Structure 1
Amino acid sequence: MDRLDGRVAVVTGAGSGIGRVTARRLAAKGCDVALVDLRPDGLEETARLVRAEGRLASTHLADVSDAERMAALPEEVLALHDAVHVLVNNAGVTSVGPFADERLEDIRLLVDVNIWGVVHGCRTFLPVLREQEEAHIVNVSSIAGLLGLPHTATYALTKGAVKAFSEALRGELAGTTVGVSVIYPGTHRTAIAATARGSDGARVAKLSQGRLGVLMPPPSLVARRIVKAIEKDQARAVVGPDARVIDLASRIAPGRTRLIGRVTGRLSGH
């Protein structure tokens, strides 16, 4: 996009973490922001931060996996902002542990939020985005979308789908006014680990709130790369030292994850 100043952005999962700092950074670039999340408290705090940048913020309670609610969202946003130029599909949940131990309800939740949330966002807002002189979609994947990491099989399933979908959508929209970027964050200091599902979820949550969490890079690093991807119409952005290592490994030895599986299995006691 040639400019962000005066544009309107929609950010899902805006109540915390990557979504919050991305909304704030977009506001610093001159965007008004429609904030979407399930948690009202988190939304209001993000809205306060956006308004502190001197920009308009609206809050929208929505479950991105709910097709009916998402179908109603564009009209709701347009009534307040008159346009939408940027869509950041960031909302997501994770699960950690052996696939054999995964509960079906957790698998369905990850598919509903991580895959259907992205599909609903793109499908409902794309007609609005195509009406603008320039627009952009950002879909947030993960290092697990680059290489299927053991003990995150369900998460990898969903984030790999986001990767393939985003690449296909970018190709379909080539030559239009709508760009598409997919972002691959590594481990960052966000709430997603603290709410991880799966048999190892509680252990990972505890680690993320201790010394390991302190060592993780802040989500602002991801937010900067998201905004750069929008401005430069970049197809992809790999963010964080661990993500760069995984990206390289996926190119040099695609599909060879047995060694990683042995290491993560020992760490988790499996």
Structure 2
Amino acid sequence: MRTITDRVAVVTGGGSGIGRATCEALARRGADVAVLDVSEQNAAESADLVRSIGRRASVHTVDVRDAERVQAVADEVVEHHGACHILVNNAGVTSAGGFEEESLDDLHWIVDINVWGVVHGCRAFLPALRAADEGHIVNMSSMVGLLGLPHNVAYSLTKGAVRSFTEALRAELVTTDVGVTVVFPGAIRTNITNAARGTHAARLATMGQSRLAPLAMRPPSSVAKRIVHAIEKDRARVTVGPDARAVDLLTRVYPSRSGLVGRVTSKVKT
């Protein structure tokens, strides 16, 4: 995009973590922000942060699994702000555990949020993005979208799907004024592990709260900074963190990449 100043940005999952940091980063670059989150309170807090920077903000409570509600919010955003130039599909959840131990309910839950949430966002907001003089979509994948991790199969499934979907969508929109970026963060300090499902969810949450977490995980602001840069420079893909970059390199030079990881995690998973 030529500029983010005075543009209207939509951020799903904007009430916390990477979403809140992205709302702040976009506001500091001069954007007004529509904050979308399943928690009205969290969204309102992010909106207050945007306003404290001197930009306009609106709050929209939405479960991204609900296609009709997402469409209604798209209409609300355009009515409130007059346009939509940037969409950041950030809302997401995670799970941990062996695939055979995953319940179908949990599999549907994670796919509905991580995959269908992205699809719903793109379908609902794309008309407004195309109607603007220029626009940009950012979809959040993960380093597991580059390398499917054993005992993290469901999450890998969703983030790999987001990767392929985003790459195809960018190619489809290449002749338009709408750019598309896929982001591959590594380990980031957010609350996503607290709501994780799966047989290893408790262990995942404990790891996220451990004393080593601040050393092993990067802050959400590091992702937000790269998102803003990607929008401004129309980057096709962004990796965030040394772990994500290492995984990206591994997938390029070592095709049989998951077997060794599986052997290691199988020894420590119980």
Fold match (TM-score > 0.5)? yes
Contact 1:147 1:254 in 2 (8 A): no
Match of 1:67 in 2: 67
Runs of 4+ in 1 over 6 A off after TM superposition: none
Match of 2:236 in 1: 235
Match of 2:227 in 1: 226
Match of 1:13 in 2: 13
5 Å matches for 1:1-270? 1-215=1-215, 216-269=217-270
Aligned partner letter, 2:247: I
Does the residue aligned with 2:48 lie in a helix, a strand or coil? Answer: helix
CA distance in 2, matches of 1:193, 1:255: 28
CA distance in 1, matches of 2:70, 2:54: 27
CA distance in 2, matches of 1:70, 1:267: 41
Deviations 1:96-132 (A, max 9, x none): 1111110111100111000000000000110110011
Deviations 1:15-73 (A, max 9, x none): 10000000000000000000000012211111111111100110000000101111111
CA distance in 1, matches of 2:176, 2:98: 42
CA distance in 2, matches of 1:128, 1:23: 19
The number of equivalent residue pairs is: 269
- For structure 1, the 5+ residue unaligned runs are none
Deviations 1:210-249 (A, max 9, x none): 1132221101000001001000000000001110111111
CA distance in 2, matches of 1:256, 1:177: 37
**Percent identity for Structure 1 against Structure 2:** 57
Aligned partner letter, 2:264: V
Does the residue aligned with 1:194 lie in a helix, a strand or coil? Answer: helix
Aligned partner letter, 1:241: P
Aligned partner letter, 1:263: V
Contact 1:148 1:255 in 2 (8 A): no
Structure 1 position 265, deviation (Å): 2.2
User: RMSD of the alignment, in Å?
Assistant: 0.9
CA distance in 2, matches of 1:50, 1:41: 14
* TM-score normalised according to structure 2 size: 0.98
Contact 1:147 1:255 in 2 (8 A): no
Contact 1:194 1:209 in 2 (8 A): no
**Stretch deviating more after TM superposition (208-217 or 240-249):** 208-217
Structure 1 position 255, deviation (Å): 4.3
Does the residue aligned with 1:136 lie in a helix, a strand or coil? Answer: strand
- For structure 2, the 5+ residue unaligned runs are none
Deviations 1:164-200 (A, max 9, x none): 0000000000121100000000011001122211110
